[in-house]
Structure 1
Amino acid sequence: MDVAETVRSYYDASVETEWERIDNRPEFLITCRYITRYVKPGDRVLDIGGGPGRYSLWLAGMGCDVTLLDLSPENVRFAKNKAKEAGLSIQAVQGDARRADQVVEGPFDHVLLMGPLYHLLEECDRVQAVEASLRLLQPGGTHFASFISLFAGMVYAMKFAPEILLDENEAAFCETVVRDKSFGGMAFTQAFFISQKEVLPFMARFPIQKLHLFGQEGILSPCESNIMCQSAEVVNAWLDMAEKLAEREDLLSWAEHLMYVGRKL
């Protein structure tokens, strides 16, 4: 089974889990704050790797014209049903991010590439996905690209599986973290964990002007379960603080996901 088929099968079998994964979580809430700096009602938005549609439905609720493209047919089906239940209109199609421009027709005002770069293990495939997404984005449009941070595995282990450090099967990944080198291989499924120092050089090869590089969970990821159960006032105060610190280079490793926001030249 190749990487694409492995990833497709994983998401086909975990649609509900993925839908719930970012519900009322710092990753979603902080990312939405950044998106709304640029995306306005009536804008045409393409959500590549949009999964079961959490961002797409939120954007449609804002009044955007949204197209979701995802590798998993079950994600696409789920997103369509969720949109119908919510009385929202989105287009949702199945397809590979590397060939997105062969599946949907642009141009779009904004493109979200928030999933495919988690799973494309080869750099040539990641380049292909970004290039395809940029062909669908109008000049001056906003591009949002997400990566899984190399340190995400350590954050996850500290929160949920501290015994990982004693697992011989995890030795290669742990050594990669120590050496601060990106890692591609089997994790929750086939996944690519990028060293934060490699994000900007990777994105610099494309015709895009950097606007932001930020941690999508900000500083909240290690302690989010304690923060998110507090009163709304406390939660919002911490979200405000996390947003203020989200682009601090020395704090990026606190986040499990990194987002590069750029404007197409």
Structure 2
Amino acid sequence: MNNVVDYYENYREEDRLTTNNARKIEFLTTVRMFDDIIGDSSKEILDCAAGTGAYAFYLADKGYNVTATDLTPRHIDIINEQLANKPYKMTTAVLDATDMSMFSDDSFDVVLNMGPFYHLTEENMRNKCIEESLRVLRKDGLLVVAYVPKFYLNQMIVTADEKYIDGRLLSQIRDTGELHSDDPKCFWTDTYYSSADEMEELFAKNNVEIISHFAQDGILPMLADVADTWSEEKFNTWLEYHLSVCKEKSILGMSNHVIITGKKK
């Protein structure tokens, strides 16, 4: 995971969800869905890949007791700096989501796994990440997992730069879902791309009852330049439309980021 940490130590994650309309829609869609599925604010939440705290602070501001962890030390430093101006406390730690041994079994009502899964290129590590998330989750608790669809991903990279119109690269992502930092045309860092069917099968295998499956941003990241010309009114019109269709099966494969949520049986 050193390559992943090195990447995020030099990337401004704190700006990612606010810099343009295509990115804002990811956050706004996700929090609207959280408002519907998480429920009362007495719940204990673990955000096991909190980044710089966008979702952790949103939930804590609403009264939830949030624990925020992340693999990247810089991210935890930024969260701790923000906490100095908050009226509440939040437990924070640098943590690898494949080893949550610092937490006891059945510690949380909700586990947000919104990043670790798609940075694990080995299947055994992805399984360990899900197993750890479920271990620390209480019975009937909510597991939230984010993933990046591989078929959308290939479309996005070739529209971003024609050098990625490379049969070997496109076939690798299609067939294995894997991208490695040492690949000749690596456009990100160590990452794993999946599909809606694969994620639903993963939940079923782990005895997790699917509650919701939705596209966080849809196709808008591919239309970022156009979306940034919209007025606030037009953006909000699209947001409401997106919210009305984001659970459609066909939309899941068209989205840059997708979340699947389920209840631990």
- TM-score normalised to the size of structure 1? 0.87
**C-alpha displacement of 1:196:** 3.3
Which of 168, 171, 183 is matched with 1:172 structurally?
168
After superposition, what is the alpha-carbon deviation per residue over 1:174-207, rounded to whole angstroms, capped at 9, x for unaligned? 1245x56523423411111113332211222112
Letter in 2 for 1:18: E
Residues 173 and 195 (structure 1 numbering): CA distance in 2 closer, same or farther, change over 3 Å? farther
Letter in 2 for 1:212: S
Matched, 1:58 2:55: no
**C-alpha displacement of 1:13:** 2.2
Alignment map for 1:151-166 (pairs within 5 Å): 151-157=151-157, 161-166=160-165
**C-alpha displacement of 1:42:** 2.8
Distance 1:41 1:185 in 2: 40
Letter in 1 for 2:7: Y
Letter in 1 for 2:62: M
**C-alpha displacement of 1:259:** 1.0
After superposition, what is the alpha-carbon deviation per residue over 1:25-71, rounded to whole angstroms, capped at 9, x for unaligned? 11111111111112232321100111111111111111110001111
Name whichever of 245-254 and 135-144 sits farther off.
245-254
Letter in 1 for 2:151: F
Residues 19 and 247 (structure 1 numbering): CA distance in 2 closer, same or farther, change over 3 Å? same
Given that 1:155 and 1:256 are in contact with CA atoms closer than 8 Å, whether structure 2 keeps it comes out as: no
Distance 1:78 1:214 in 2: 29
Distance 2:228 2:93 in 1: 33
Alignment map for 1:27-106 (pairs within 5 Å): 27-39=26-38, 40-100=40-100, 102-105=101-104, 106=106
Given that 1:220 and 1:242 are in contact with CA atoms closer than 8 Å, whether structure 2 keeps it comes out as: no
Letter in 1 for 2:171: E
Alignment map for 1:243-258 (pairs within 5 Å): 243-258=243-258
The aligned residue for residue 178 of structure 2 is 183
Which of 9, 25, 29 is matched with 1:12 structurally?
9
Letter in 2 for 1:151: F
Distance 2:219 2:157 in 1: 16
**C-alpha displacement of 1:137:** 1.1
Distance 1:225 1:61 in 2: 32
After superposition, what is the alpha-carbon deviation per residue over 1:238-262, rounded to whole angstroms, capped at 9, x for unaligned? 1111111112112222211121110
The aligned residue for residue 199 of structure 2 is 199
Distance 1:246 1:47 in 2: 23
Aligned residues: 254
Given that 1:51 and 1:70 are in contact with CA atoms closer than 8 Å, whether structure 2 keeps it comes out as: yes
Distance 1:237 1:89 in 2: 37
Letter in 1 for 2:89: S
Distance 2:28 2:225 in 1: 14
Given that 2:147 and 2:193 are in contact with CA atoms closer than 8 Å, whether structure 1 keeps it comes out as: yes
Given that 1:149 and 1:196 are in contact with CA atoms closer than 8 Å, whether structure 2 keeps it comes out as: yes
- Unaligned stretches of 5+ residues in structure 2: none
Distance 2:236 2:88 in 1: 27
- Unaligned stretches of 5+ residues in structure 1: none
Post-superposition, which runs of at least 4 consecutive aligned residues in structure 1 deviate over 4 A?
A: none
Residues 198 and 181 (structure 1 numbering): CA distance in 2 closer, same or farther, change over 3 Å? farther
Distance 1:10 1:87 in 2: 32
Report the identity percentage.
Answer: 26
The aligned residue for residue 116 of structure 1 is 116
Residues 32 and 228 (structure 1 numbering): CA distance in 2 closer, same or farther, change over 3 Å? farther
Distance 2:120 2:164 in 1: 25
Provide the secondary structure at the position in 2 that maps to 1:201.
helix
Provide the secondary structure at the position in 2 that maps to 1:156.
helix
